[in-house]
Structure 1
Amino acid sequence: METMISLERAWEIISEKIHTPETEEILLQESYHRVLAKSVISPIAMPPFDRSPLDGYAYAASNSDPASLSLHMVSEIPAGTYPDRELKPGECAKIFTGAPIPVGANCVVRMEDTEPQGNLIQIRRPVSPGSNIVHQGEEIQEDEVVLVAETLLTPSTVGLLAALGVEKVTVYRRLRIGLLSTGSELREVGQALSPGKIYNSNTYTLRGMLIECGCEVEAASFVPDRLPEMIETLSGLQDMDAIITTGGASVGEYDLIREALSGIGCELLFWKVNFKPGTPAALGIKGKQFYFALSGNPAAAMITYELLVRPALKRMSGLKDNEAVFPVKMAGRFGKSGRQRRFLRARAIFRDGEIWADPDYAQGSGILRSMIGCNLLVDVPGGHGPVEKGEILLARWIPAEGEIG
């Protein structure tokens, strides 16, 4: 087991062990926020025929047309119908948005640029050949790859597939994640607090973050700092893809989670990652199952989740790895200095084309309120002195509340 490793080394260890889950074919209406496992090829052209993008009149234009034209209207083409008459020279058809272009026409003139006089249509502003026609396959060609594997299916992508008549898609199975909070100090929401006790918030916070990641979550009842109960509860979660625990990961006599993981046959790959808050994070593996042991301090657990667990779950769910760091200017100062690398919670502010990071002044590892509205983690290198306003540092996005991870 490696100890006190860098964040980058921790991610290398995780990456080496990741396996993508099985796939399944599901109905399109069930596919929101699922990840494609197989690219989708369009079965049709889009649009499937030449169509009008507006209400007007279809006719055959030429580049030698006079400044004003009079044409006989011989048919009307609403959307959803198909024209049964070919237009001849001197004729036009009244056409509506989305309707097919009739044979014999090569343009559509806007209705507001015409003046009807019975069946005689005066075109005050003639158009050139090809005007106002959306051609067959202009957006998508038949047999074109429209969505590649590893694409997250959003409402717009699902809508696109519906427009192409795609009924089923092949996606990766949802990850099943077990969740366990440990600590003899914990009480469940709804119970009275006795002296020395606190409410279990980590289960609620992480459950929401996992649901936003598209996971199925099974949260076990929290357990006290007693080894037999930890082992028993962990054993009940062994059909999960990954298990996340909070609490019991540090060095005290009651920090028993590593011993509990060993007790269920889990191989510990690392313990302690060299950043704050969240140093005592550990990773274990058993077969294809991941065991992430996080700090019991609420903000530390969330930050470690963002830096290690969320990227791993995204990769495990089949999503492309698009984590990136970028420079930000500090909109406020942080007065502490320290030997250890630190991640500051901050809110992004956009000024004059630059991203500024406004750090929350309460950066303690147990201060959960500081994560509200936070969408940046600012990377302060180890050995750095106090962070000054206007200083440039590297940061990474984390999903603000309500966003998908």
Structure 2
Amino acid sequence: METMISLERALDIVYEQVKPLGTEKVHLAQSYGRVLAKDIEAAIDMPPFDRSPLDGYAYCAQASDPAPLTLAIVSEIPAGTWSERELKLGECARIFTGAPIPQGANCVVRQEDTEPLGDRVQINQPVRPRANVVYRGEETKKGDIVLSKGELLSPAGVGLLASLGVEEVEVYQSPKVGILSTGSELREVGDSLTPGKIYNSNTYTLQGLLMEAGCKVKVAPFVADDLDETVAALKALEDMDFVVTTGGASVGDYDLIRDALEGVGCKLLFWKVNFKPGTPVAVGIKGDTLYFSLSGNPAAAVVNFELLVRPALRKLKGRKLPERTFPVYMDGDFGKSGKQRRFIRARAVFRNGEIWADPSFAQGSSVLRSMKGSHLLIDVPGGHGPVQKGERLQGRWISSWEED
């Protein structure tokens, strides 16, 4: 087991153990938030015919057309219909948004630029050939790769597939993740607090983060700082892809999670990662199941999750693993300095095309409120000294703010 390793080394170890899950076919309506397991190739042109993007009149424009121009209305083409009549010079068709361009027409003039004259229309501002026509295949051509393996299916992506007539998609299976919070100080929400007790918030925070990440979540009842109880709770989660625990990860007499992991046959891969908050994080493996032991301090547990669990989930789900960091400018000071690398929670401020980070929240490892409204984790190198306003550092998105 390695100890006190860098975040980069910890991620390398985790990635070595994670293999993407199997795949399954699902109906398009059930594909939101899933990850594509294969490229999607367009089976048709989109649009499948030349169409009008607006309400107006279709006709054959000529460079020599006078202004105004008067044309005979010989047909009407609503969306969803098809006109077999070919237009001749001097003729036009009343056309509506989404309707197919009739034969003989090469443009559409806006209704606002015309005046009706019974069975004729006066075009006050004639348009040029090809104006206001969306041509067949302009958006997508048959055979184009429209979505790639490893992409998250957003609502827009699902809508794109629907427009191409795709009914089923092959996606990676959703991860099954178990949650276990430990600590004799914990009480369940709804119970009354007694002296020395606190409510169990970590389970609810982690459950939300995992659900947001598209996981199937199994929540084990929290346990006290008791080795036998912790081992029994972990055994009930052995059918999960990942298990995430909080509490009991440090060095105190009641920090039992590493002993409990070994008690269920788990091999510890590392313990302690060289950053704050959340240094005493541990990761182990048993069979194909990875176990993440996070800090019991609420804010530190979220930082642990964002830096280690979420990247592992991306690979497990078949996602691409993009570069996660980008430059940010500090919009406030952070007075602490220390030997260890530190991740500051901050709100993103967009100014003149740049990302600025406002760290004006309490930054203690137990201050969960600091995560609310935070969009960024700012990477402050070890030994850096106090952070100054205007300083340029590296940042990474938190949770759903991450680029997909």
**Bucket of the pairwise TM-score, normalised by the shorter protein:** over 0.9
- 1:213: which partner in 2? 213
Q: How far 1:404 sits from its partner (Å)?
A: 8.9
- 1:384: which partner in 2? 384
Alpha-carbon spacing, 1:92–1:260, altered in 2? closer, same or farther (3 Å): same
- 2:347: which partner in 1? 347
- 2:268: which partner in 1? 268
CA contact (8 A) 2:397 2:403 kept: no
Specify the code of the residue in structure 2 equivalent to 1:359. P
CA contact (8 A) 1:212 1:404 kept: no
- 2:243: which partner in 1? 243
Q: Deviations over 1:167-225 (max 9, x none)?
A: 11111111110000011111111112222211111001111111111111101000111
2:364 & 2:121 partners in 1: Cα distance? 75
1:380 & 1:72 partners in 2: Cα distance? 72
Q: Deviations over 1:253-276 (max 9, x none)?
A: 211111111111111100000111
Q: How far 1:392 sits from its partner (Å)?
A: 2.5
Q: How far 1:10 sits from its partner (Å)?
A: 0.3
Q: Deviations over 1:235-255 (max 9, x none)?
A: 111111100000111111211
- 1:115: which partner in 2? 115
In structure 1, runs of 5+ residues without a counterpart are none
- 1:204: which partner in 2? 204
Q: How far 1:330 sits from its partner (Å)?
A: 2.2
Q: Deviations over 1:271-310 (max 9, x none)?
A: 0001111011000011221100011111111111111111
- 1:152: which partner in 2? 152
Q: How far 1:121 sits from its partner (Å)?
A: 2.5
CA contact (8 A) 1:334 1:361 kept: no
TM-score (norm 1): 0.96
Q: Relative to structure 2, which stretch is displaced further, 229-238 or 314-323?
A: 314-323
CA contact (8 A) 2:209 2:399 kept: no
- 1:299: which partner in 2? 299
- 2:70: which partner in 1? 70
1:341 & 1:113 partners in 2: Cα distance? 64
CA contact (8 A) 1:207 1:217 kept: yes
SS of the residue corresponding to residue 64 of structure 1 reads coil
- 1:56: which partner in 2? 56
Q: Deviations over 1:134-169 (max 9, x none)?
A: 111111111211111111111111111111111111
Specify the code of the residue in structure 2 equivalent to 1:132. N
- 1:369: which partner in 2? 369
Matches within 5 A, 1:56-205: 56-205=56-205
Q: How far 1:59 sits from its partner (Å)?
A: 1.7
CA contact (8 A) 2:36 2:169 kept: yes
Q: How far 1:387 sits from its partner (Å)?
A: 2.1
Q: Does 1:278 align with 2:278?
A: yes
Alpha-carbon spacing, 1:194–1:116, altered in 2? closer, same or farther (3 Å): closer
- 1:232: which partner in 2? 232
2:337 & 2:263 partners in 1: Cα distance? 39
Q: Relative to structure 2, which stretch is displaced further, 102-111 or 76-85?
A: 102-111
Matches within 5 A, 1:305-320: 305-320=305-320
Q: How far 1:352 sits from its partner (Å)?
A: 3.6
TM-score (norm 2): 0.96
Alpha-carbon spacing, 1:250–1:40, altered in 2? closer, same or farther (3 Å): same
1:324 & 1:290 partners in 2: Cα distance? 22
CA contact (8 A) 2:338 2:382 kept: yes
2:56 & 2:119 partners in 1: Cα distance? 14
Q: How far 1:111 sits from its partner (Å)?
A: 2.2
1:72 & 1:390 partners in 2: Cα distance? 67
2:62 & 2:273 partners in 1: Cα distance? 73
Specify the code of the residue in structure 1 equivalent to 2:260. A
Q: Relative to structure 2, which stretch is displaced further, 124-133 or 164-173?
A: 124-133
- 2:222: which partner in 1? 222
SS of the residue corresponding to residue 210 of structure 1 reads helix
Q: Relative to structure 2, which stretch is displaced further, 119-128 or 15-24?
A: 119-128
- 2:21: which partner in 1? 21
Q: How far 1:340 sits from its partner (Å)?
A: 1.3
SS of the residue corresponding to residue 374 of structure 1 reads coil
Q: How far 1:393 sits from its partner (Å)?
A: 2.2
1:385 & 1:404 partners in 2: Cα distance? 30
In structure 2, runs of 5+ residues without a counterpart are none
Q: How far 1:350 sits from its partner (Å)?
A: 2.7
| Alignment: residue pair count | 404
Q: Provide the identity percentage.
A: 65
Q: Deviations over 1:314-367 (max 9, x none)?
A: 121111112422232222222222111111111122334432222134211111
